[in-house]
Amino acid sequence: MAQAPAAFPDPAPPEVHPVASGGVVPEPQAFDRLTFHAAPKPLSPRAVTSDWPRLLGPADNATSPETSLLKTFPPDGPAKVWEVSKGEGYTSPAIAGDRLVIFHALDGRETLECLHPETGRRYWSQSYPISYEDRLGYANGPRGGPVVAENRVVTLGVTSVLSCTDLVSGQVVWRRDLAAEFQVPQEFFGHGSTPLIHDGRLYVNVGGKGEKIDGTEDRRERARKLATPGLCVGAFDLGTGKLIWGVKDEWGSSYAAPILTTLHGQQRLLVFAGGESDPATGGLLCLDPIDGRVVDRFPWRADMYTSVNASTPLVVPGKNRVFVTTAYPKGAPIGGIMLEYDAAGKAHEVWQSNRLACHWMNPLLIEGHLYAIDGETEAAAQLVCVNAENGKEMWRTEITWEAPVGGRNYRLSILRASLLQVDGAVLCLGETGSLHWLDLTPAGAKETSRAQLWLAPHTWSTPAVSRGLLFVAQHEQGQDGSPQRYVCYDLRAASPAP
């Protein structure tokens, strides 16, 4: 039987600021951080286009239906349309129609900006102050990306501030401090799970605790508090921000995004949870999205204190199967596991492999095979292909090349890359800023085109594609002095002759 949802009172329903109908719609304006390069080519009349509403695109699986894209890069790479300098954080843009939103920490304020996708001009900007210092020395900005749906933009910041903003006007509709309300600890890298909007509801991997953690505890006392169950997952009303239901669990907030799917004809919410805990705990929650009933709870987390779950679950359509993966150098389990849910909603192992261990990237499922980057560290990273039916490894390889850097030739690699399936091929964004078209089949990997967008570490965010334009985030200064920035590239193929 499914576990009944806990009665979870809402400690602080937010003040709601209704958006006036018929108000003035702001026009996009140039601003000081924008550099416009050149207008993109006209979109082919044959092109299929799509929005990019969230971290992994319209289907939450790093795929896009876009077509008519540029498949061979010129020597200098695809043409830049515009670029906007950015602050700290590791987020990708979200796009709906003629609105593109970016989310980053700029001058000590978590900042949400709405831009025009083809010009980079800004419609509006909203921000609030934050005080955050990464415990392990990484960027002091958001990890979870913006989400656009139902004419709203939702963000969950690195300090657990949850905001809902009107997409057109830029007016803040409501805002909540989840850390204060639900005792959410800072975690290793701050709050980082991207929320999910569906049918007027907002689903969040909150990761709250039963006791407040103020940072003065010794490790034993901190471990005890981390194990006290709190609001692990919550469903909030998109219009008012009020808590609809909550799941009480000791599993904390991961860096993976919740997703919705259908299992045996029933809609289910999948949350790959697991925040800081000692010993490490976490795994895949299968919930009823209507009332929060816990249908299944499958533990899957490396037993290493500083491990995290960061790769979003991948659904195998039509098979009631879900693949999850994590990567850390010691402990068990590590790697990937294919689960199959029975008619009662319980998950059972189909196969597992410690050679398909993704750190944060999301595998692609293409014609019955998984393609992913195996390996926690740069040195260990390899591109692998695995049969999704039985877990058999088909091949593994490294995509490498030599390039001049500072007057010397260096061997470069895609390292812990992001993969995006689009227009009949795979677009690969390497960890140091390389862009590749790949042909991936069970027989092997073939690189068909390559461009070095920049040479900088921490190019960790999945790129976004919408209406033939590619949007990529550079999170560190480049070897050539290029700044942290969001860049729009023209990926439109030339229109066919009439």
- Which CATH number is 387's domain given? 2.40.10.480
22 pLDDT above the threshold of 80: no
How far apart are the C-alpha atoms of 361 and 29, rounded to whole Å? 35
- What SS3 class is residue 320? coil
Percent of the chain with pLDDT over 70: 97
33 lies in some domain: no
Percent of the chain with pLDDT over 90: 90
399 lies in some domain: yes
- Count of C-beta atoms within a 10 Å radius of residue 348: 12
2 pLDDT above the threshold of 70: no
- Under a CB-based contact definition with an 8 Å cutoff, are residues 413 and 402 in contact? no
377 lies in some domain: yes
116 lies in some domain: no
DSSP 8-class letter at 344: T
- Under a CB-based contact definition with an 8 Å cutoff, are residues 196 and 258 in contact? yes
Q: List pLDDT tens digits, range 102-112.
A: 999 999 999 99
DSSP 8-class letter at 135: T
Work out whether the CA dihedral 388, 401, 62, 191 comes out positive or negative: positive
pLDDT for 268 equals: 98
One-character DSSP codes across 240-281: T--EEEEEEES----SSPPEEEEETTEEEEEEEE--S-SS--
**Structural domains of the chain, count:** 1
- What SS3 class is residue 120? coil
Q: Which two tokens stand for residue 98?
A: 């003629």
- What SS3 class is residue 28? coil
446 lies in some domain: yes
424 lies in some domain: yes
Q: List pLDDT tens digits, range 153-188.
A: 999 999 999 999 999 999 999 999 999 999 999 999
1 pLDDT above the threshold of 50: no
202 lies in some domain: no
Q: List pLDDT tens digits, range 196-231.
A: 999 999 999 999 999 999 888 898 999 999 999 999
pTM of the shown model: 0.96
Domain that holds residue 365: 361-458
CA 32 to chain centre: 28
Instruction: Determine the average pLDDT of the residues in 233-254.
Output: 97
How far apart are the C-alpha atoms of 146 and 150, rounded to whole Å? 13
Question: What torsion, rounded to 10 degrees, do the Cα atoms 147, 468, 87, 160 define?
Answer: 10
Q: List pLDDT tens digits, range 292-332.
A: 999 999 999 998 888 999 999 999 999 999 999 999 877 66
453 lies in some domain: yes
Q: List pLDDT tens digits, range 30-80.
A: 999 999 999 999 999 999 999 999 999 999 999 999 999 999 999 999 999
How far apart are the C-alpha atoms of 62 and 374, rounded to whole Å? 17
Q: Which two tokens stand for residue 166?
A: 């009107």
- Count of C-beta atoms within a 10 Å radius of residue 216: 7
Report which of residues 319 and 333 the model is more confident about: 319
Q: What integer best gives the mean pLDDT of the chain?
A: 95
